[in-house]
Structure 1
C-alpha cells in the first residue's frame, strides 16, 4: 500500500540514481544472478556503488550502448538478470533494434533505466533529450514501461523488476527529486494511484511531474476548482479500469507529461477513452513537435511549459 507525504516540499536526501543503485545492490544480495551493466556513466549514475560492493556483478561496457544491450541479452540467455543504464535517448532510440530483436523477440530479460528524460537533461542539451522514449518502448510487445516520480517508487520498482522476466523500461531524473510517497510505500505494476481526490477535473500524470500536478491542484483549490490527481507511473500496461472509473462525472480530463504528446502517456489514455467510447473534454499537456535544447532543468521546464502554473492555465482553459 502507498501513502502520500503530507509535506512534499523537500527533495529526497540522496540522488535518485543512488536510490536505484542501492536497490540493485539489495537485489544482488537476494539473488547473485543480478548484474549491472553501464555505458561509461558510473559516476553520474552512481552505479560505481554497485561496482565497489559487488565487482563481479558489474560490467563497464563503455560508450557502446547497442553492444551493452547485446551483452545484457547474452547474459539473460544464460540465466542472469541484467540491469542496464544510460541516458534516456541512448537507452531507447539508439538501441531500439537490439532491445526489440535480441531482447523482446528472443524472450530475454533486460531491465533498462533511461536517465534524465525530457527537461531534466539540463545542459546536456538537445542531443541527450528524449521526448519519445515512452512512445518507442510502448511499441514493444509485452514490455513494461514506467515513469518513476520519486526515490521510494524507484527503489520499489527496481526490486520488483529483479523478480520478473521480460523487457522493463523505467525513466527518471538522476538528481534528487521531491518525494511524493512515504518510505515503505508499495505499488502494483499496471495499477495507477489516486494521490489526490477531486470532483471537477481529473489530471493523469507520471514521473517527476506528479509533484507539479499536486501543486497545481492545491492552487486551483483556492479558486474553488476541485482537481483529482492520478499517478500513472506504469504507462504500459496502463490501468484502464482506474481511468474509466475516475473519469466518470468529471468536467474535463488533462494528461500532464514530461514527454511528447505523441505516443506517450496522453496517447495511452486517449486509446483507453476511445476503446470505451467515452466522450469528455480532453487536453493533452506535454511537448508538441519540439526538439530539446540547452539550459538548466528549471529553465527548460518553464521553456517547454511543464510547470504547475502551466498546468493551472491548461485546466482553467479547458473548463472555459
Structure 2
C-alpha cells in the first residue's frame, strides 16, 4: 500500500494554489519546518509569514487580512489550532464572518512523542461547537490534495484536521471530493461502520476480518464532521440497524457525538464508539497509542461482533 507524507502534499498544493490566487497568505507560528511550509517563504515573499510563537495573534491577524479581501491560511499543530486560539476563532473569525482556513496538523495520537501537551483529542469538539464553522478530518494525502481547492472556494471558517507525517493511502486518483458528502467505501447489510481520518484505513482492514467471521459490514468514510452527511448516515442505519463509529479523537464531542445526535432524532439504533475514552494523550508511537486506547482493527472486530449479537 502506498504511503503519503501529508505535510508534503499540503505544501505542494498550497504552492499551486498561491500561484493561481495572489490573495492567499500562509501563516505559521514557528512550525513551518515541522509542517513542511518553510519553502513557501522563498517562493512567495510577503505571502508566507512566520508570526512567531503567538498562535492567538496569528488567528486575529488572519481575521484582519480576511476583512481586507485576502485569503488567509493558518498552519499549526492541532492543539494550538483549537485549544489555544478558541476565543479568536469564535469571535474574530466566525462571529465576524471572516474567510479563514485553519490547517491543523498532528491530529490526535499521530502527535506521537510530542506527548499529551501537543496531542489534541478534543479539537473537533471545540471547533464544531462554534457557530458557522466547517470541521474536516482528512483521510489521506490523495483526499487532502483534492480537498484544498474545494475548501478554498468555500467562504467562511474551515478547520482542516490532518496527519503531519506518513499516512497510508486509502483513496486513489479517481476519488471525487465533495465537501459535505461522505464516501461509501463498501456496501453491507449487517453493521454500519462510520470512520473518519486515520480510522478509515483501520476500518477497511477490520472489514476483511469481519467478512471472514460472517459479518457483512458497510463502511462509510466521513471527512466532514460538521455539517455531517445526515442523509447517508440515516439511510445506512435504517438498512443495517447497528452503527459503530471510529475516530482518532475523544468520543465526547467528536464523530460519535455528531452521529449520535443525528440518529437519536431520526433513526435510533444500537451504537458503539471506538476512540479515546475521555483521556489526555501521552508520549508514544501512533500504533502503541492506538493499542492502548482500543483503536486497532482487532478492537474494531471484537466490538463489532459484540454489537452484532445484540
97, 100, 117: which one pairs with 2:90? 100
Q: How far apart are the structure 1 equivalents of 2:241 and 2:213?
A: 16
Match for residue 300 of structure 2 among 283, 307, 311: 311
Normalising by structure 1, we get a TM-score of: 0.94
Q: Which residue of 2 aligns with 1:259?
A: 249
- Structure 1 runs of 4+ with >4 Å offset: none
Structure 1 position 303, deviation (Å): 1.3
CA contact 1:212–1:308 (8 Å) conserved in 2: yes
Aligned partner of 1:11 in structure 2 is 3
Correspondence for 1:130: 120
Q: Which moved more, 1:92-101 or 1:18-27?
A: 18-27
Question: How many residues of Structure 1 are paired with residues of Structure 2 in the alignment?
Answer: 309
Change beyond 3 A, Cα 1:173–1:246 = same
Corresponding residue of 2:175: 185
Structure 1 unmatched ranges of 5 or more: 1-8
Separation in structure 2 between the aligned mates of residue 297 and residue 249 of structure 1, nearest angstrom = 34
- The alignment's TM-score, normalised by the length of structure 2, stands at 0.97
CA deviation after TM superposition for structure 1 residue 184, in Å: 4.9
Following the alignment from structure 2 to structure 1, what is the Cα–Cα distance between the partners of residues 295 and 175? 27
Match of 2:225 in 1: 235
Cα distance in 2 between the residues matched to 1:231 and 1:140: 23
Are the counterparts in 2 of residues 69 and 95 from structure 1 also a CA contact under 8 Å?
yes
What is the distance in 2 between the residues matched to 1:239 and 1:163? 19
What is the RMSD of the two structures over their aligned residues, measured on CA atoms? Answer: 1.1
Confirm or deny: 8 A CA contact 1:116 1:173 kept in the other structure.
yes
Q: What is the rounded CA distance, in whole Å, between the counterparts of 2:187 and 2:17 in structure 1?
A: 35
* 1:25 match: secondary structure: helix
Of 59, 78, 81, 2:71 maps to 81
**For the residues of structure 1 that align with 2:258 and 2:282, how far apart are their CA atoms?**
26
The CA distance in 2 between the partners of 1:161 and 1:139, in whole Å, is 20
Q: Deviations over 1:140-174 (max 9, x none)?
A: 11211000010111112211122221110011111
CA shift for structure 1 position 185: 2.3
1:165 to 140, 152, 155: 155
2:284 corresponds, among 295, 299, 307, to 295
Q: Distance in 2 between matches of 1:253 and 1:164?
A: 31
Deviation, structure 1 residue 251: 4.1
| Among candidates 40, 43, 65, match of residue 50 of structure 1 | 40
Partner residue, 1:220: 210
3-state SS, counterpart of residue 145 of structure 1: strand
Tell whether the 8 Å contact from 2:114 to 2:283 is kept in structure 1 after alignment: yes
